Amino acid sequence: MTTALRRLRNYIDGEFRDAADGRTTKVVNPATGEPYATAPLSGSEDVDAAMAAAEAAFPAWRDLIPAERQKVLLKIADRFEERAEELIAAESENCGKPIALVRSEEIPPMVDQIRFFAGAARMLEGRSAGEYMDGFTSIIRREPVGVCAQVAPWNYPMMMAVWKFAPALAAGNTVVIKPSDTTPASTVLIADIIGSVLDELGHPRGVFNVVCGDRETGRLMVEHKVPAMASITGSVRAGMQVAESASKDLKRVHLELGGKAPVVVFEDTDIAKAVEDIATAGYFNAGQDCTAATRVLVQESIHDEFVAALAKAASETKTGAVDDEDVLYGPLNNANQLKQVKGFIERLPAHAKIEAGGEQVGEKGYFFAPTVVSGLKQDDEIVQQEVFGPVITVQSFADEKQAVEWANGVEYALASSVWTKDHARAMRMSKVLDFGCVWINTHIPLVAEMPHGGFKKSGYGKDLSAYGFDDYTRIKHVMTSLDG
């Protein structure tokens, strides 16, 4: 007996639609390895339709006073809370995530972030008007950039959609967003929520559009003539491709890419507390987080004790079914990602030692055991490249100078953390660590008011905060003669 697959559809100009040419792709639940839905494999006709809808809706949405856009976002946040269980179920099926953790760790911050940007809509700041030339007054206008083409990732498809649409809509832009081809379900549900709010409040239906598809669909969106801005959260390779495509007509680009966060642990650290927090920050969401605490640098005097404690913590960390409230994380997102994580373990150099884990778990789905690898050198592949899995590496450093050199000695620069009781050392490290975020004696907390974004191959532009809001606006200088 074959179970019928659920049919997901694009959301364009206020209507749910199949791909124009009828093409679909199967969507797999990573906890089972079995397909549960089909989604459109959208082509140029679908992208054209979505962009036309967003372009047509833009003038009216742009011209709303900020208080009206705030009302829309606040109602969207309320609706997220009202339909939380639907969102939780969709995201759990999308990603195989534990239901309890989606409920506690994703829904509340998403709602808070939407409400933050609802407030930001009314807080556009600029330098004061004034006379900088005799007989003339200068004014600064802050304006939306236009239609935004947005591509969301598969590790946090629901939350990353919020990070993209909330500041864009708050600033007066209209949106065409593409979820990952492996995780479209929650974004399609978000379209239903936002569409219903826009309809209720009498706003243009094309303000928010969802186009499902693969990399080719994303390329068509980025290269389309309508969007003024392209935003992507994804791999470095994808970011480079987007930047190259957008350069053909000088689109603005917002890139949040990979990470290889150093976790620098000094000898005066409370080892038990550090291990507990680092294990959680390294294994949460199966390590599929650009800021995950997966590259640990430990001062050599406490190295052995720390590794033993971390290996014990890994052995006590559970992965498993979505309805098991004792698990910390679910499966890797897809078969390709499981293959990638396995490949890093299989290619470990002879001097590396697997202290815990290192293997797939279970007979179905894409589960991987919490893993600790020690004995590594700075130029090892697993130290330099993003694993994006539940694998924590450990290196031993001699002194602060070497810790800084190794921490900064990768191509990524998104996030980092320092663990020490020495305040002066923490301040020195926060100055010299070349990362967009430095946590001290913690790792991974985020708040809506503070920016998230990196340097180097981790991309450019900020998510969250007033800085993230600024990225979706443009600056215009208006000068008027005082002669009348």
Q: Which residues are catalytically annotated?
A: 256, 290
Q: Are 37 and 221 in contact (CB under 8 A)?
A: no
Strand partners, 142: 475
The amino acid that residue 230 corresponds to is A
For the record, the structure tokens of 175 come out as 């949106």
- Residue pair 451/425 in contact (Cβ under 8 Å)? The answer is no
Distance (Å, whole) CA 13 – CA 86: 23
How far apart (Å, rounded) are the C-alpha atoms in residues 77 and 364? 36
Burial class of residue 483 in the structure, from the number of CB atoms within 10 Å of its CB (0-12 exposed, 13-18 middle, 19+ buried): exposed
What distance in Å separates the CA atoms of residue 393 and residue 298, rounded to the nearest whole number?
10
Phi, psi of 178 (to 5 degrees): -115, 120
Helix, strand, or coil here: 355?
A: strand
What distance in Å separates the CA atoms of residue 327 and residue 369, rounded to the nearest whole number?
12
| Amino acid occupying residue 295 | R
Which DSSP string corresponds to 137-184?
Answer: EEEEEEEE--EEEEE--SSSHHHHHHHHHHHHHHTT-EEEEE--TT--
| Distance between CA atoms of residues 451 and 448, nearest Å | 8
CA distances in angstroms from 139 to 328, 450, 471, listed in the order given: 52, 28, 20
Cα distance from N-terminal residue to C-terminal residue, the chain: 81
SS3 14: coil
Q: CA 205 from chain center: how many Å?
A: 26
